[in-house]
Structure 1
Amino acid sequence: MSAIHELGALDLWRLLHARELSAVEVAEHFLDRMERLDDANAIVHIGRELALARARAADDADDRTGIIHGLPFADKDLTRRAGQPATLGSRWQADAVADTTDPVAQVLDRAGGVVLGRTASPELGFAGYTRSALHGATTLPGHPGLHAGGSSGGAAAAVAQGLLPFAPGSDGGGSIRIPAATCGLVGLKPTRGRIPAHGGVGQVGGLTTAGAIGRSVIDVALLTDALIGRVNGVTPHELTLRSPERDDGSLLAAAVRGEGRFRIAVLRGTPWDATHDIRIAPEATAAVDATIAALTAFGHEVGEVTMPDASGYLGVSGYAEAFTSLWRGGAATVPIPRVERHLLEPLARWIIDSSDELTAGGLATAQLWATEFERRVLAAFAPWDAVLTPATALTPRPLDWYPVDDGEADFDAQVRHTPHTSFVNMVGLPAIALPVHRTGPTADGDGLPMGVQLIGRPGEESTLLAIGRQLERRIPWTERVVRRMRPSR
């Protein structure tokens, strides 16, 4: 049999359900790997005592119907769990310990998951790469001079190293899709409202939702079903203000089947084109071209769609102003006293300081602009089952690429790296990152992952998973990740 860390999450679940493996055995295996083999700085806290207590409880339970019963995961460092560190990746909270547990962690606990620790995040989750003065940089496994992406970079780097079978993350502008694509993994950002415990509903701007990162489409679907909180096939929505636009049933079933023929459009342009020097690297274009070739071979219809008008109206100059206003609106809710802001790093300090200048009228106008933009995007995308873009415009970035001492310049660099992701959060659509391509050989002989993004209709994650599963059957990205793990047994 393959080593435990080489097994997919669904395969592990089957062995746990059949009692061929114990949850304690699985937890100890992954905890040992975390302690010995985290070369990428993916894990910022290991909670061995809590993990083994949860694993023993899973083994002793008569009821094993939880969707991820006995499977290990780790909280992102932005998620509170009572009695555990709550640093938020920030020196400001370096010694903080949570006194409550966030709903999204409660949902995964109810689903039977066994929490092992915490994965790295940039300060307050504000960056599309994972580095903090508190915890250092999280790097692309096997490439210590490159960033792993962010803000769920610790989650992605942990899965890519075989420290976890899958991992939850959060995504407010690409924070699941960027690190997933960078680390050669699958990452799903669900529709706004699809994850009752953390789906964007009720937030300023409604940008951020929980989601899943894994080696395979099937594993991501399994964890997403757990995040949704299905119990005996029914999805409770007590934690949200509204139910999702559509609920297709088990996402895992859709991923396993991987069936259907669809209409897919390649997106031309980005909403940042008017304000930033957006350049798409040849490696990103190659990833899209490889996907088009595979989709065409499967019999899907492939066409084109142009980015809808993102220029100024309603007194807002355009997409860049609207998105940054919504982002600053969210930052304004961070409860940091003004006298402690000197503890923040330049990016977080720039965002929070600039939120002081945001008026109620300015925030309301930005939200109105976003609502109108959402209508335009939905109308343009309506004829298509999915829309295809690069996941990142550039290859994985060197550690010194972001100007970390200048918050505004840092933000601009992030836009140039990932110009296709944030508008999906503004519009609230589901999107999946798929690691379809690799660059040519690098100095260590291993090419760099390059992914694509598929954007779906509201509530139709099942379509994205079906297309992803078809591509996964043709492109062996899961095997690539497993091969990288083997020298580190």
Structure 2
Amino acid sequence: MAELHDLTAIEQLAALRTGEIGPVELVAHYLERIERFNDSVGAFVEITADAALARAGALGSTPVGALWGLPFGDKDLVARAGVPTRFGSRLHREFVPDATADQAAVLDDAGGISLGKTNTPEFGLTGYTETQIAPPARDPWNPVSGAGGSSGGAAAAVGAGLLPLAPGSDGGGSIRIPAATVGVVGLKPSRGRIPFASGLDSPGGLSVAGPIARTVADAALLLDVQVGGRAYSYATRAPGAGPFLDATTGATASARIGMTTVSPWDNDDDIVLDPEAARAVEVATALLTGGGHGVDTFDWRPRGYAEMFTTIWRTSAARMNLSDAELELVEPITAWLVREGRRLSGAQVLEALAAATTFERDTITAFSPFDAVMTPALALPPQPIGWFDARDAAKNFSQQVRYAPYSSFVNVAGLPAMVVPVKLDASGHPVSVQLIGRPGGEATIIALAAELERRVGPLPRPAVWRG
């Protein structure tokens, strides 16, 4: 028998708008699931049950807003007034902000209801979610494995049926890595697409907000809310326009798709592509060519990427105003990134930023013959909790690269990208591919991902889904 969390976010919204269910009923359903399963999944680090039920009751009976009555969770890097915001760090155990950030307020304005804060690694710096202050975020399919990061709690919550959808942020793969790890949909928008988290205010323009959801249409719905929630404060913005939900319906125009399993880390690290990840690309290629699209393997051999990206990532960490005493309290990978960043000269930083601009231009040029480019989503399958070395920071960084070498370059290039599951591995775990669009090309990759989703058909849910 179907339960409320079996419905897609769009179906839940339809039931809310017709009065078939009410906001209090839906919130109570998800809070009950969180109470039962959060300890085993590690999705939430703060649950605001009383506030969520009060807000649900205060919404009244007249639907107002694109997310009216729909639950979500705030990533624990995003401030919500009166709710502890720890940034995944014991340095902020007691921090309670007095103002709500736009990333949360926009969803409030659309009628959404926050159920609490979702798990994230310290300051969102890593592609896995294991911290000193909370249990790790776990893969709902296999709780021995981690859920990826840095939006690991958000992806785990969606994958386990604890939320219908969730906002995340992505500076080097932090939406796509966990979404692919747990077998849900994740979308990183173009730089300049979302007004309040455009990427234009971060070193290298890396970090943007975006959606995590169970279906492509649900992700497009949340993207539309994020894009339309605020006025633009920068002159630069991504070309094209929504509503992106429209791209998920109807026939998909024939597209030319480039396919590569080359990553820009290949020359500098030992990247080994798991056979299941390679097979997922083959499956997606067959599905797309069967739909009338052209898929062509192309030669892409970027150079000098590793030094450029690690310099920018260290520069980003070095911006944090941490004292020597505080650096002794943070995770070793955080301390290493900050200290390494502080050793960089101004000339080194400027050289890396210039190299990033060149990489952006060269990548867009290389990809320009195609409507979209497809890569594996991850190089390796989900790894056990503790696999990422907690003591050796340099080794830890290399492990993250080997796990997800196809993510960060999309941030440097400022392009939109989406991960979508297309098959099951031998254990029954979903395996995903990544679709990368042209600048401002969210509509195209959303349409292609929706077509893949339809052709694959419904995939099974993890055992925790049924409880």
- Cα separation, 2, equivalents of 1:82 and 1:417: 35
**What is the one-letter code of the residue matched to 1:26?**
L
SS in 2 for 1:247: coil
- Cα separation, 2, equivalents of 1:347 and 1:361: 24
1:393 to 379, 382, 385: 379
**What is the one-letter code of the residue matched to 1:164?**
L
**What is the one-letter code of the residue matched to 2:460?**
R
- Cα separation, 1, equivalents of 2:134 and 2:209: 22
Alignment gaps of 5+ in structure 1:
231-235, 311-317, 442-446
- Cα separation, 2, equivalents of 1:268 and 1:474: 22
Q: Is 1:454 the counterpart of 2:435 in the alignment?
A: yes
Contact 2:315-2:342 at 8 Å conserved across structures: no
**What is the one-letter code of the residue matched to 1:288?**
V
In the TM superposition, residue 191 of structure 1 has moved relative to its aligned partner by: 0.3
Aligned equivalent of 1:299: 292
In the TM superposition, residue 306 of structure 1 has moved relative to its aligned partner by: 2.4
Aligned equivalent of 2:460: 480
In the TM superposition, residue 485 of structure 1 has moved relative to its aligned partner by: 4.8
Aligned equivalent of 2:24: 24
Structure 1 segments of 4+ aligned residues over 6 angstroms from their partners:
none
Q: Is 1:159 the counterpart of 2:158 in the alignment?
A: yes
- Cα separation, 2, equivalents of 1:485 and 1:4: 15
Alignment gaps of 5+ in structure 2:
none
SS in 1 for 2:203: coil
SS in 2 for 1:393: coil
In the TM superposition, residue 243 of structure 1 has moved relative to its aligned partner by: 4.7
Aligned equivalent of 1:315: none
- Cα separation, 2, equivalents of 1:59 and 1:339: 50
Aligned ranges for residues 88-487 of structure 1 at < 5 Å?
88-229=87-228, 236-238=230-232, 240-257=233-250, 259-310=252-303, 318-441=304-427, 447-477=428-458, 479-481=459-461, 484-487=463-466
More divergent stretch after superposition (318-327 vs 409-418): 318-327
In the TM superposition, residue 339 of structure 1 has moved relative to its aligned partner by: 2.1
- Cα separation, 1, equivalents of 2:384 and 2:453: 28
RMSD: 1.5
SS in 1 for 2:205: coil
Contact 1:44-1:120 at 8 Å conserved across structures: yes
Distance 1:258 1:135, change over 3 A: farther
Aligned equivalent of 2:66: 67
- Cα separation, 2, equivalents of 1:379 and 1:435: 28
Aligned equivalent of 2:53: 52
**What is the one-letter code of the residue matched to 2:213?**
G
**What is the one-letter code of the residue matched to 1:22?**
G
Question: What CA deviation, in whole Å up to 9, does each residue of 1:273-318 have, x standing for no partner?
Answer: 11101111111101101101101111100102222432xxxxxxx2
SS in 1 for 2:282: helix
In the TM superposition, residue 370 of structure 1 has moved relative to its aligned partner by: 0.5
- Cα separation, 2, equivalents of 1:291 and 1:376: 26
**What is the one-letter code of the residue matched to 1:41?**
G
In the TM superposition, residue 324 of structure 1 has moved relative to its aligned partner by: 1.1
- Cα separation, 1, equivalents of 2:443 and 2:50: 37
Question: What CA deviation, in whole Å up to 9, does each residue of 1:40-81 have, x standing for no partner?
Answer: 111111001221122123235x4x341111111000111111
| Count of residue correspondences | 466
In the TM superposition, residue 110 of structure 1 has moved relative to its aligned partner by: 1.1
More divergent stretch after superposition (329-338 vs 160-169): 329-338
SS in 2 for 1:118: strand
**What is the one-letter code of the residue matched to 1:104?**
Q
In the TM superposition, residue 112 of structure 1 has moved relative to its aligned partner by: 1.2
In the TM superposition, residue 173 of structure 1 has moved relative to its aligned partner by: 0.7
Q: Is 1:2 the counterpart of 2:24 in the alignment?
A: no
- Cα separation, 2, equivalents of 1:376 and 1:308: 11
SS in 2 for 1:405: coil
Question: What CA deviation, in whole Å up to 9, does each residue of 1:142-167 have, x standing for no partner?
Answer: 31211111111111110111100011
Question: What CA deviation, in whole Å up to 9, does each residue of 1:306-352 have, x standing for no partner?
Answer: 22432xxxxxxx21111111111211222322321111011111111
Contact 2:37-2:464 at 8 Å conserved across structures: no
Give the TM-score normalised by structure 1: 0.92
Contact 1:284-1:450 at 8 Å conserved across structures: yes
- Cα separation, 2, equivalents of 1:109 and 1:322: 38
Q: Percent identity?
A: 44
- Cα separation, 2, equivalents of 1:307 and 1:374: 14
In the TM superposition, residue 258 of structure 1 has moved relative to its aligned partner by: 5.4
**What is the one-letter code of the residue matched to 2:285?**
I
- Cα separation, 2, equivalents of 1:127 and 1:136: 16
- Cα separation, 1, equivalents of 2:152 and 2:239: 30
